[in-house]
Each structure stands twice: as C-alpha cells, then as structure tokens.
Structure 1
Amino acid sequence: MKNTLKDLMLPAPVEGGFAMDGYWVWCSSVIRGEDGKYHMFASRWSMDYPMHPGWLVASEIVRAVSDTSVGPYKFQEVVLPARGPQYFDGRSTHNPHITRCGDTYILYYMGSTHPFPELKNPSELKHEDDITVVARANKRIGVATSKSIFGPWKRSDNPILFPRPEYFDNFFTSNPAPCIDMDGGCTMIYKTRTYLSSLDAPFLHGNMSFGVVKSKSPTEGFSQMLDIPLFNGEGFEMEDPFIWMDKDGYNLMAKDMKGNVCGEKMGGIYAFSDDGIQWILKRDSLFYSRSILWDDGIVREMGNLERPFLLMEDGKPVCAFFATSDGKNGEGFMECTRTWNMAIPLRAEE
C-alpha cells in the first residue's frame, strides 16, 4: 500500500456509523448486500453490564443497514444470539468479520461459553470473577454461512480453530482477520495469549500475540502455520488485526498496544507479506492515529480506535470503520459512557 491509512482519511461524519441506545456497540464489519445496501455486522451488549468485561459474557452479533457506506446504520436484527452453555459460542458472540466467497456470505466471529447462571447484578461484573475467567479461556473462532445477507445463517457447532497446548497459542483463539485467497482458500491472522501459570496461579497469561492459519476452504480445514508468534520481537504487543490483498500481496494493519512500533499508544501499525505467512513490519510509521478529523471541523483524540475494518469496492478501500468511545488516553473502555462504530470515508489512493 503506497499511502498510510491516515493519509487517505476524509472527515468522519458526526452523524455516521452505528450506535444503539442502551447498548455498548463494538466491532464493525460491512459488506454490500444483494439489495445494493450496506450491511454492518456488529457486536452489542446491554449497558446493564460494564463495557469491559461485559462483552465476554453478554455480547451478541447484530446486523444494521444503511443506504450509504458511512451511515448512519439502523438496527435490523440479532444474527447470532446466545444459544446455551453447551455450545462453544453459547453465551457470547463477538468480533464479527463478514465477507463473501462466490454466492455465499461468510461470517467469522469469536464465541465463548461458561457454565454459570445469569448474573443477578451484572453491573458488578469484574475481571477476576469466575465467570469472566472461564469465558476468557473459552474464546474460540467460529463461522456461519448464508446464501443471503438476510439469512438464515448456518452456524457451525464447533470452532474452526483450537488452542494448541504445546505452543504459544495455548490459551484461546479470537479476533479473526480472514482474507479469501484467489484460489478460494483462506489466510487468517488471529489473536491469542500464552498461559504462564502454575497450579498455584492458574490464570496468569502473557501478552497478546498473533498467529497465522491457512486453509483450502474458507470454512474448514484451518492449519496453524507458525510455531512462534508473528512479530516475535521483545516488547511488541498488538491486537485487532485486519488483512487484505492487493496486486502486490497481503497487507496488515493492527493496533499497537504500547506504541513502541508505530510511535503512538494504541495507534495503527502496517505490515506486508508475499505469502500471508512471513510478514515485514514497518517500524516507526504510524498507519492510523486516534486523532480524528470530524466533519464538524474538530479534531478529537478518541478514547479508543479499535477493530479496524476496510470496506473494499473494485479492489480498493473506500471506507474505514473503527470501534470507538468517549473515554480518554487509549484506555477508553475502562471509563467511557458511550461506544459506537464510526465510519471514515477514504479518498482514492494515488
């Protein structure tokens, strides 16, 4: 990619994107449906829960629609609701990524489950609660398919990717970033962590890291390609990958948790790959920033700018989407009072 994403950004519409009264909203992924309209798949969960970690136990994937790519998007339906603790995704669905292969829509997502009863006081949910600890360890990547953007969605009863006990990805698999290859297969980046525990401290884990999987099918047969984390440099910690292809190869952007790669805490990094497995990370270059120019003329530093997604048309990015909040300092989900999915139109790349 010749330009950074921030160089392509036009002012973000204040009235664009997607929000819902009474809900935390996160994780936007957009595609143009057979009706010609733009359909956003997003995560939501009740504000009865804290924003973080409420998503772990109460998120559901919904669909919203707009006549334009930037929105505003209007809620249409719940696509992947809770379906019981016996399923790997029975209590929470999150991290949607919608794409299409041939005549089939494919919805990748993270699902989780736990065996505990519904919370009597959801506002008091904490990171160290048993329900949260179990739900985090049970995060797995799933897939659902449909011939229509309106469903019905055929949902797999099993994850497409499991942790590997003897490797760096032995804790969970989440945050799917798939790319449908030219041959109809799939290359995917995913987020994971490593257990650092003992019997005396069974819930310690390492920093977030990325793995790579490949398959000949977009919905099954995924194989982990790396025995060590992608970008295995000291001090690196990233999450929220997004990958796409152009005529030169694979592109990746992700959130730099500490800012020691791109120079801004929770700003965006960029990497390139010929094969989707071995990646070249561009150091000391800010691909996107949390400081955003809005169409009211004001530049605001967003509390969060996460889960990046590019809407592609004719092979070119035309709109960027991010989950954002009204919090501060890159830790917005810990103190925010509102979250939404924002849309940023992009000018044509030179």
Structure 2
Amino acid sequence: MKKTLLTALVLSGAAFAQGKTLIDYFQPMEPQGPLVSEGIWGDPNVLPRDIQNGLEDSTLENWCYWDGAIVKANDGRYHMYASCWSQTNSHSTGWKVESKGMHAVADHPIGPYKHIGLAWPKWQEGKGHNVIGLRMHDGRYAMVTSELTSGEVFVSDSPDGPFKLLGYIQVDYNGFNPFLARYQKNGRMANVQILLRPDGRYMLVARSTAIMISESGILGPYKIMTDRVYNDMPEVPKKKMEDPSVWYSGGLYHMIVNYHIDNVTHHLTSEDGIHNWTYRGIAFRNDIDFFKYTDGTVNHWPIVQRMTVFVENGHPTHFLFSVIDSRKGEDGPNDKNGSKIVIVPFDGEAFDADMQRIVEAEKKAAQ
C-alpha cells in the first residue's frame, strides 16, 4: 500500500513538473479603466491597452519608465520604486545616461500609479537605474540602484521619503571570481536584487545569479556563496542571461532569470536559497498571447524585461514587467514609442501549493 501511494505521489509530481510551469499561473489582467487606442503612444501591437495598469505616461509628455518593485506600506498604499528618463531621449540614451530613481504610489497593486517625484534629487541629480525598493528588517524603507552607479542603498523612515544615501554595497569575494558581483571594466554592480530572508539575513543576487549573503545588514559585506546557480542546468543558456529576480514563498526560495535574446525567462528553486538550485521550467516567454485582458484583448510587447515579483500575505500575487512597444533602437526621442511597467496578476496560492507537492514527491522518491 505504501509503495503504491509513493509511486502515485512521485508520478503525479513528475507529471505536473513536465506539464505545468510558473507561466501557467498568470491570470488575465482586469482593466483598471477603459482600454484606450486614441491619444496615446504606442505601435498597433500594444493598442488598445489599459493606461491605468502599472506605471506609464500615456501621452509621453514627460517620462519613460523601467525597472520597478512594489512595497506595501503600513498605510495600505502600494509604493512603486522604479527608474525613469525624459521622453526627449531615445531608449538607449535614456537608460544609459539619463535614468533616475523615482517613486510612485497607488491604492491597488495593479495601479494606476501616480508619479510622486524623484527619490534622491540632490544626489547626482537623482541618477539611478536597475532601481528596486524593499522593506528592511528594521522596518525602514530602502531603495537600491546599480548598473549606472556603484550599488548604492538609500533609506527612509517613511515610504514617501525623503530617501538619503546610507552607503554602498560591500562584497566579500570569498575566493570566487569578483566578476560574479561586479562588471570587469567599471566595477559596478548590475541587476541587483535584495531579499529579506526569514532567518534575518539579507540575500543579494546580481546579474550573474551568484548567491551572496550578508550577516551584517543591508550594506553587507555580502559573501559570495556560489557560482552562477544555473551552471549545471542544460535547459538554461549560459550566455546573455540577465535580470534575475528572487523571492521566498511556500517554503522555497525562487529565482527567475531572463535569456534576453528570445525574451524567455527560466524558473529555479532552492530550499535554503544557497544550495541545490533546481530547474523548474519556463516562467515567461514572449511568443505567446501573454498580456491578455479579461475581455480577451491581447497586447504584444516586443521587448519584455526586468521581471520583478510582489509578494503579499506570503504568496506572489503580481509580476512587474518593463516593456517597450518597439524593438530596442527603434524607440527614438520625441516619437510615438515609449516604455512602461505592466503588472500582471498571479495565482500564487495555487502555485505555492503545487510547488510544495512537487518537492514533497521528490523527497519521497529520493528516500
């Protein structure tokens, strides 16, 4: 009897793992307002759309948006910390030269988000990219910037700021290649994500996906604990990988990492967030009707990057996507093309329950 039950558990877990991956838990977007085609920017492939979803300047009077992470404050509002640049720049000039850290707020996780202002306007005129936000273990709010800068952390007692420079992220290379943490040429960090672990430590993942752990606070030093976590995974390309994002839910540490050539994002898990990372399949791919509304309307964004995850009440509930309506290089200054942040709902409770069943079945099979 026990052998029969074990076999059933293992087979059901294996069948699920083969037939269903993270991408299957995304849900249609409920419009926060009417779907709009007239008087807004965008190629036909992203029209009509909900301009109240996420963060966008629908008339391109001021800003293009990128990056982004959501933090829910004690007042019940949802604060998005992201980057922006003037629409008078092309996309490539905007993010490489003019990107600035900013803050927006909404009453609902999907939006609409209202642009409040630059987060640290007196520090290098607000310069920042790969911007994320999080709540620190001591309750303060933090914003992190990398790519254009060295890896700075700004903090505030209030989600509305003002945010002041706390310091620079420090790394203990721990015998590993320093380039797992920083660019070879300029020494900057990139794609930094910081996660508050349940054990009270901070976990940092940058572009390489190497796991770094701090025992001493948000600035570190972060000790490099691993090489690239996907090195032994044949399913994951070994080049052109970027934009890792991490979260903890359902008793597992999760990571998604993007192969930006094809806009395909892969999903990995680990029980302790350091060892035994396991490939779990596709998290996102851009060759399907992904950005779908509840009425069946679909938007096709040619460029989709910088996925981040919002976790509420212990489960991932929404994913953020930085999107452009044209190919990179086609988004010029003062034209009809732009970028924004789209938010897609996610059935995190079902996802976490199914992932727990998979892991339990794998453990039983190993025994």
TM-score by length of 1: 0.75
Of 266-275 and 100-109, more deviation after overlay is shown by 100-109
Q: Bigger radius of gyration, 1 or 2?
A: 2
- Give the superposed CA RMSD: 2.7
CA shift for structure 1 position 108 = 1.9
- In the other structure, the counterpart of 2:166 is 156
| Match 1:62 to one of 102, 106, 111 | 102
- In the other structure, the counterpart of 2:13 is none
CA shift for structure 1 position 277 = 2.6
- In the other structure, the counterpart of 2:127 is 92
Counterpart Cα distance in 1 of 2:317 and 2:342 = 14
User: Which has more helix, going by share of residues?
Assistant: 2
> Identity of paired residues, percent?
24
Q: Does 1:142 align with 2:152?
A: yes
Gap runs ≥5 in structure 1:
85-89, 113-138, 192-208, 259-264
CA shift for structure 1 position 227 = 6.8
- In the other structure, the counterpart of 1:274 is 271
- In the other structure, the counterpart of 1:16 is 53
Distance 1:162 1:45, change over 3 A: farther
| Match 1:333 to one of 328, 337, 345 | 328
Q: Does 1:74 align with 2:69?
A: no
User: Which has more strand, going by share of residues?
Assistant: 1
Q: Does 1:35 align with 2:75?
A: yes
Distance 1:140 1:212, change over 3 A: farther
Distance 1:165 1:42, change over 3 A: same
| Match 2:142 to one of 96, 106, 111 | 106
Counterpart Cα distance in 2 of 1:311 and 1:91 = 25
Partner secondary structure for residue 210 of structure 1: coil
8 Å contact kept, 1:211–1:224: no
CA shift for structure 1 position 44 = 0.3
- In the other structure, the counterpart of 1:345 is 345
Gap runs ≥5 in structure 2:
1-15, 32-49, 332-336, 351-367
Distance 1:77 1:160, change over 3 A: farther
Counterpart Cα distance in 1 of 2:67 and 2:258 = 14
8 Å contact kept, 2:63–2:87: yes
CA shift for structure 1 position 66 = 1.0
Greater relative CO, 1 or 2 (CA 8 Å, sep 6+) = 2
CA shift for structure 1 position 318 = 1.3
Deviations 1:16-70 (A, max 9, x none): 1111233221012111122211111111011222211421221111111111110
- In the other structure, the counterpart of 2:41 is none
8 Å contact kept, 2:170–2:222: no
- In the other structure, the counterpart of 2:355 is none
Q: Does 1:255 align with 2:255?
A: no
TM-score by length of 2: 0.71
8 Å contact kept, 2:243–2:257: yes
CA shift for structure 1 position 71 = 0.6
Counterpart Cα distance in 2 of 1:34 and 1:236 = 41
Counterpart Cα distance in 2 of 1:72 and 1:91 = 23
Distance 1:189 1:82, change over 3 A: same
